[in-house]
């Protein structure tokens, strides 16, 4: 896929990736990762991080006693992630895989994870890849499990879309110089999640509607009498 080739370029700039992406998200990338862990990750969770990058979120989840599997197509970023994990003494809680998102169907069994997290990753994919990833996420989540997505979004109002464009033009240029990557704001993440079978239970947008956090649940089968409020 085109995005696979695109992400391979990142290997030459992995050390600048965190700074570049945080800049592109107007400083919200690091903040939202801490919010995700604080509010949604619990002890003993089996967590899958789609597009784990340099491992910042994986480390935060593992520090809360979750068991984390993270994957990324960039060997350069995985090398940095491994160093972070080793420095944090979390090698027994985090497993890293070198793979692309389009390989999820072969990599993970059904109903394996309690939580799936993804930050500023879906916006790097094309629309058909986004739909595929969300379908696979639904498959590998346990019933009642959560998918938590933080990403750039396209504002609804025309005025804010114009403002976003004006702000993004210089930021995209600087970020590309730093990381050789960029993102395309998601047009309608709510519909993408619904089409994949998820029920959105929480959403929060930034003040300018440029960045959003979405939490969605995989439903329980009709024959399952377990209380949905309980951890699967």
Domains of the chain: 2-218 (3.40.50.150)
153-170: per-residue pLDDT in tens? 865 655 555 544 545 554
Interior angle at CA 95, CA 49 and CA 85, nearest 5: 90
Residues in the chain: 232
68 touches 47 (CB < 8 A):
yes
pLDDT digits (tens, 9 = 90+) for 33-88: 999 999 999 999 999 999 998 999 999 999 999 999 999 998 888 999 999 999 99
**Range 135-163 average pLDDT:** 81
Q: Is the dihedral of CA 25, 27, 29, 35 positive or negative?
A: negative
Cα–Cα distance, 140 to 136 (Å, whole number) = 6
pLDDT per residue as tens digits for the range 59-72: 999 999 999 999 99
How does DSSP classify residue 220? P
Distances (CA, A) of 119 to 8, 34, 38: 18, 11, 15
| 3-state secondary structure at position 45 | coil
pLDDT above 90 covers what percent of the chain? Answer: 55
Pairing of the two strands 211-218 and 198-205: antiparallel
State residue 61's pLDDT score: 98
Report the C-alpha gap between 205 and 26 in whole angstroms.
13
């Amino acid at each position: 896929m085109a995005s696979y080739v695109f992400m391979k370029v990142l290997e030459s700039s992995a050390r600048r990736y965190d700074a570049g992406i945080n800049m592109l998200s107007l400083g919200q990338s690091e903040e939202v990762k801490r919010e995700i862990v604080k509010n949604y990750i619990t002890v003993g969770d089996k967590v899958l991080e789609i597009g784990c990058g340099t491992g910042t979120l994986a480390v935060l989840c593992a520090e809360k006693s979750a068991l984390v599997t993270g994957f990324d197509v960039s060997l350069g970023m995985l090398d940095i992630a491994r160093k972070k994990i080793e420095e944090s003494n979390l090698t027994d809680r985090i497993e890293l895989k070198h793979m692309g998102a389009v390989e999820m169907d072969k990599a993970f069994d059904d109903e394996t994870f309690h939580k799936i997290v993804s930050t500023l990753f879906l916006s790097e994919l094309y629309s058909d890849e986004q739909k595929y990833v969300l379908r696979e996420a639904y498959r590998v989540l346990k019933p009642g499990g959560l998918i938590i997505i933080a990403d750039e979004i396209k504002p609804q109002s025309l005025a804010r879309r114009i403002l976003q464009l004006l702000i993004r033009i210089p930021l995209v240029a600087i970020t590309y110089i730093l990381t050789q990557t960029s993102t395309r704001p998601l047009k309608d993440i709510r519909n993408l999640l619904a089409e994949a079978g998820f029920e959105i239970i929480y959403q929060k947008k930034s003040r300018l509607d440029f960045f959003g956090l979405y939490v969605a649940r995989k439903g329980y089968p009709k024959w399952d009498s377990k209380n949905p409020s309980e951890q699967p």
